[in-house]
Structure 1
Amino acid sequence: MNDAVKNQALVDALVNLPEDASEPEVSNIFASKLFNFLGFEENERVPEFSTGTGTQAVDHALRQNRENDIFNQTRTNPDVLVELKARNINLAAGSKGYKEIYKQIKRYLLGENCRSAKWGIISNANHIQLFRKHGKVIHPVTVCLEINSENIINIATLIKEKIDKPRKVLTVAVYNDKGGVGKTTTIVNTAATLSLPPYHKKVLVVDFDPNQRDLTNSLPIEPSTPTFFDCLIDKNINVRDVIKPYNQLINFRGGKQKFGFHVIPVHKDTDWNDIGQKITFDRLSKKLEPLKNYYDYIFIDSPTNWQIFSQSAVYAADVVLIPVKHLCLASLENAAITIKEYIPKVQQVRRKNQDFGPMALPIFFNGGNMSEAQKRRVQIHINQLIKYAQNNRNNKFNLTPYFYPRYTTGKNMEIFELRHYAPIASSTFDGVPAVYKNKIAREYYKSLVKEYFLQ
């Protein structure tokens, strides 16, 4: 079937689909033509695919056939999961129906039989949205797009292009408007953990906090010429020319082995105010673009204060990781502001191109050992923040998923905690990430990467 025929078939499907089409009709009339358009033949589709989460099945799973591996025969390793609804189910962003199907597709993508899945699609033939899965992280790639017979080809083309050319990297901005929450320590040790077996991930860390330079100072790396900020100002300088390798020979599993990651350091003798006036908030994102099929992860160390450098870091990110301190209520309050005000502002800018923009990950307590009494006090304060955001008529926002990601009818208020451990804090003075020297520190950060990044 040539492209013109596929295009017309998809348009005709929407034209002929009843306004009150049931879910089976949406599947048989519309989705089947969408799958053809996206390049999936009949034997590359499995309806009612078992996700491996109990008896739950997603409406459709898709994967290109491989040599001696016909997908609808082997029924393994799907690439795309598709969940559909009837046309009378409202899937406009923020609606009850949207929230329910969003939870569904996330749950299915994390199913045991869906570890290979990289994409999720939701649709009712009135709206459609594409989600990406990177390890354990699931984030919207497009906004929830309204579709009709006039725009369906453009929107389906956008989705097809993203599926056909997936990015390898997940870009993570680590940010809290409050200082002293351990952003740099988190980045360095998370990068080091991901570089170790069994993960063997390629990781780049970016020092984008020019005033503090904590990341650069924590590692024995000196910036050279050209500097990163020369690179930001001069479009002709290749970003690869400012990347430095960091490697460490460590005792690991009974022998000496070399592990490491890459670093973009910052130079101390630079007029940062001048540079801040010369760059636009999207310059960092554009400079990192050529690297996004080389690295598995890029972590950006973001400065406090919502100014050009922190805005640029969040704009460049897929997700934002927000550490807080349980004894610092300001860090909780600033986390709430970041989630409900700052990140949505960046999303609005990126959505001009139908891009969803960065998504906040749930907060975590960094370097604390809370007593039960302290935990109760923190919960009271968090509950107040959540209630205030929900009752704010000018900017009503549900903070619950970001503070209590496991919250259900059972009221699970568990928040991930990276416990205090002295060697983690003191490793800054040694120029070596704690996880490269200390097994306990390594286990702590393994728990963090499993909680947030790895399935």
Structure 2
Amino acid sequence: MLLTDWNHILDNILPDESSEAYISDIFVRPLIKALGFNQQEHFSEFTTGNGTVDFAARKNVDSDIFALSRVNPYLLIEVKAPATGAGAKFNLSEDTPQYINTREQIKRYLLASKCNTSQWGLITNSVHIQLFRRHGKVVFPATQSILIKKDNINAIVSNVKDLIHNPPKALTICVYNNKGGVGKTTTTVNLAATLVQQGKRVLVIDFDPQQGDLTKSLGLQVRKISLYDCLSDRYLNIHDTVQPFTVKFKSGKLLQFDVIPADPKLENLTEQDLATRIEKGSARLKDALKAFVYEYDYIFIDCPTNWMFFSQSSLYACDVVLIPTKHNNLASLDNAAKVIKELVPKVKAARRDGGPIALPIFFNGESITPPQLKTATQEIEAIITREMQVSKFNLLPYFWPKTTRANIDKTIYSLPSYAIVANAAFSRIPAAFKNSTAAEYYRGLAKEYFIL
């Protein structure tokens, strides 16, 4: 759509007076057309299975006319009345109550029973606009909530159109807690093995050069061209750092995920060395991994505990942060809260593209007795209450994600303890490949967070 058209449209929006229906007609319908959907490829009031979204869109496929069949939507759009003046109804600036409610609303729609094919969700009130991406069971921001102006509307539309018609394939996951001993590496390698068993293509990056536990546990060594080489020289091909990790089963079946091993060249470099030698610093890893986002279904990053270059780079590069904790370790709970309320927002502010987001915590690899669970629950209650009082940050969705306004559910997903998982490193094969019980545990974890 031409700039003059958008000028005309924006001139006719009166923020204090325009209704939702008016915004739908004067702003959203032209937006849908500008995003590449014709009149037969979208319609209003789509029943998702968990409420009704304002618009749904999908390209027609042969004789399947979306406006007639009304199945398998691709893009969902939720519209609100604008909000800038005293008569405002909805303010979609990030972190306002109206924004949070609308964000959760589009998330519910995208995950509803009739929207399994949906990959994108858009919220707008003609003053702000934000795009969300769905990958399996995860919904996360693909852009910031952007203030719409005449001088940026064309760029906004162009960017959204490019994203929805050329979607990255991969979900990039950083497994992180700002506390050691919570099983980050074990979680990473076994989730990779589990997702491969589900037919997914997986890449794992060991970005903990000082420990390199993931690389050692798989019996791998760095190749001639290393990750450090590619981070410090953007003209090298990062694909040359990748090594396949393959397991052959007795049946003859082969399963493989790919690994970028830990790089010893990074081990003894100081923070100052890294800042000097790697252009863009902690933002460089994200740029380097763009080479893989159309090739893999999942990209996992295993990084060290301390908040330094490697962990900062890993959070900067990911879409979501998965946070293992221990129910019997107060420090792991406190540090999980720190990751959620402090470190993720810090990286999000630096990236300015909507990401990353934190996923709810889970208890990793411990047997929990009822008294222990009661103690952990009391501690979590104290953490949630403290942060709400001190920083006004609501940790409840990250610790008790099943809680709703109508029902307080303090369930936290728990991965049971099992000896074969801890001992698997000696065999250089992930436990999820070796043992059916371990495989079942990690399949449950994958289904809880990632796959349908």
Cα displacement (A) at 1:150 = 3.9
Would you say how many aligned residue pairs link Structure 1 and Structure 2?
439
Name the TM-score, length of structure 2 as normaliser: 0.94
The residue aligned with 2:355 is: 357
The residue aligned with 2:408 is: 411
Name the TM-score, length of structure 1 as normaliser: 0.93
| Residue type of the alignment partner of 2:55 | H
The residue aligned with 1:72 is: 67
The residue aligned with 2:394 is: 398
Cα displacement (A) at 1:230 = 2.1
Gaps of 5+ in 1: none
The residue aligned with 1:14 is: 10
Is 80-89 or 210-219 further displaced after alignment? 80-89
Cα displacement (A) at 1:113 = 1.1
The residue aligned with 1:323 is: 324
The residue aligned with 2:37 is: 40
| Residue type of the alignment partner of 1:426 | N
CA contact (8 A) 2:140 2:355 kept: no
The residue aligned with 2:218 is: 219
CA contact (8 A) 1:320 1:360 kept: yes
CA contact (8 A) 2:196 2:256 kept: yes
After superposition, the C-alpha distances for 1:121-170 in whole angstroms (9 at most, x for unaligned) are 01111111110101111001111112134432222222222212211111
In structure 2, do the counterparts of structure 1 residues 238 and 272 end up closer, same or farther at CA, with 3 Å as the change threshold?
farther
The residue aligned with 1:90 is: 91
Asked if residue 241 in structure 1 is aligned to residue 236 in structure 2, the reply is no
| Residue type of the alignment partner of 1:403 | F
The residue aligned with 1:378 is: 376
The residue aligned with 1:163 is: 164
d(CA) in 1 for partners of 2:8, 2:136: 37
Query: Which residues of 2 match residues 57-206 of structure 1 at below 5 A?
Result: 57-87=52-82, 88-196=89-197, 199-206=198-205
Asked if residue 451 in structure 1 is aligned to residue 448 in structure 2, the reply is yes
d(CA) in 1 for partners of 2:379, 2:398: 14
d(CA) in 1 for partners of 2:91, 2:219: 55
CA contact (8 A) 2:400 2:412 kept: yes
d(CA) in 1 for partners of 2:335, 2:266: 29
CA contact (8 A) 2:282 2:312 kept: yes
d(CA) in 1 for partners of 2:227, 2:35: 39
Same amino acid, percent of matched pairs:
45
| Residue type of the alignment partner of 1:160 | K
d(CA) in 2 for partners of 1:140, 1:132: 6
Cα displacement (A) at 1:13 = 2.1
In structure 2, do the counterparts of structure 1 residues 294 and 257 end up closer, same or farther at CA, with 3 Å as the change threshold?
same
After superposition, the C-alpha distances for 1:191-241 in whole angstroms (9 at most, x for unaligned) are 001001xx3111000000011101001102122212222222222221111
Cα displacement (A) at 1:248 = 0.2
Secondary structure of the corresponding residue to residue 273 of structure 1: coil
Secondary structure of the corresponding residue to residue 62 of structure 2: coil
d(CA) in 1 for partners of 2:22, 2:267: 62
Cα displacement (A) at 1:14 = 2.2
d(CA) in 1 for partners of 2:284, 2:427: 33
The residue aligned with 1:259 is: 255
After superposition, the C-alpha distances for 1:57-110 in whole angstroms (9 at most, x for unaligned) are 111101111211111111121110001112232222122211211111000000
CA contact (8 A) 1:11 1:153 kept: no
| Residue type of the alignment partner of 2:347 | V
Secondary structure of the corresponding residue to residue 171 of structure 1: strand
Gaps of 5+ in 2: 83-88
Secondary structure of the corresponding residue to residue 290 of structure 1: coil
The residue aligned with 1:208 is: 207
Cα displacement (A) at 1:271 = 4.5
CA contact (8 A) 1:137 1:452 kept: yes
CA contact (8 A) 1:229 1:266 kept: no
d(CA) in 1 for partners of 2:221, 2:148: 51
Secondary structure of the corresponding residue to residue 290 of structure 2: helix
| Residue type of the alignment partner of 2:268 | W
CA contact (8 A) 1:228 1:264 kept: yes
Asked if residue 31 in structure 1 is aligned to residue 28 in structure 2, the reply is yes
d(CA) in 1 for partners of 2:214, 2:110: 34
CA contact (8 A) 2:48 2:112 kept: yes
CA contact (8 A) 2:210 2:267 kept: no
In structure 2, do the counterparts of structure 1 residues 270 and 163 end up closer, same or farther at CA, with 3 Å as the change threshold?
closer
| Residue type of the alignment partner of 2:196 | S
CA contact (8 A) 1:314 1:320 kept: yes
In structure 2, do the counterparts of structure 1 residues 141 and 269 end up closer, same or farther at CA, with 3 Å as the change threshold?
closer
CA contact (8 A) 1:9 1:33 kept: no
CA contact (8 A) 2:76 2:122 kept: yes
The residue aligned with 1:368 is: 366
After superposition, the C-alpha distances for 1:15-40 in whole angstroms (9 at most, x for unaligned) are 11233111111111111111111111
d(CA) in 2 for partners of 1:15, 1:38: 21
Cα displacement (A) at 1:296 = 0.7
d(CA) in 1 for partners of 2:287, 2:264: 23
Is 362-371 or 139-148 further displaced after alignment? 139-148
d(CA) in 2 for partners of 1:81, 1:154: 20
CA contact (8 A) 1:179 1:304 kept: yes
d(CA) in 2 for partners of 1:200, 1:245: 16
Secondary structure of the corresponding residue to residue 252 of structure 2: strand
CA contact (8 A) 1:205 1:262 kept: yes
